[in-house]
Amino acid sequence: EAGVVQSPRYKIIEKKQPVAFWCNPISGHNTLYWYLQNLGQGPELLIRYENEEAVDDSQLPKDRFSAERLKGVDSTLKIQPAELGDSAVYLCASSPLSGAGELFFGEGSRLTVL
């Protein structure tokens, strides 16, 4: 069974440029998460989807971040415009159950903003 797939693995952009990350969850997992992981810290939730509905986006900086999960399968996280402080790893995870249980993480997308 394929795991959570994320792309790109690495992205280097200049500040004020846009960037997008893509995630394909494990087949059959209705819940999808985007996490932000700064260096030396634990993952922090940005947004959680139940199917195509964003049920928790309270930590998503909506002035520059947006996300979508059309058709309730894969998802895209966008930043526009990127700032220096956005340099981090963006992790996608999925789970078969909402709110509890094991999260299955992708390998992450490392963003460097110059």
Site membership for other proteins, residue 1 (CB under 8 A): no
Residues 6+ positions from 61 with CB-CB distance below 8 Å: none
Side-chain-side CA neighbours of 49 within 13 Å: the count stands at: 27
Separation of alpha carbons 88 and 109, rounded Å: 8
Q: Give the nearer residue to other proteins in terms of CB position, either 51 or 80.
A: 51
Site membership for other proteins, residue 70 (CB under 8 A): no
Mask for 31-60, x = binds other proteins (CB under 8 A): ---------xxxxxx--x-------x----
Considering only residues 85 to 104 of the shown chain, the ones binding other proteins according to CB under 8 A are: 91, 93, 99-103
Site membership for other proteins, residue 107 (CB under 8 A): yes
For residue 16, what are the CA distances in angstroms to 21, 27, 92, 110? 16, 35, 23, 17
Site membership for other proteins, residue 4 (CB under 8 A): yes
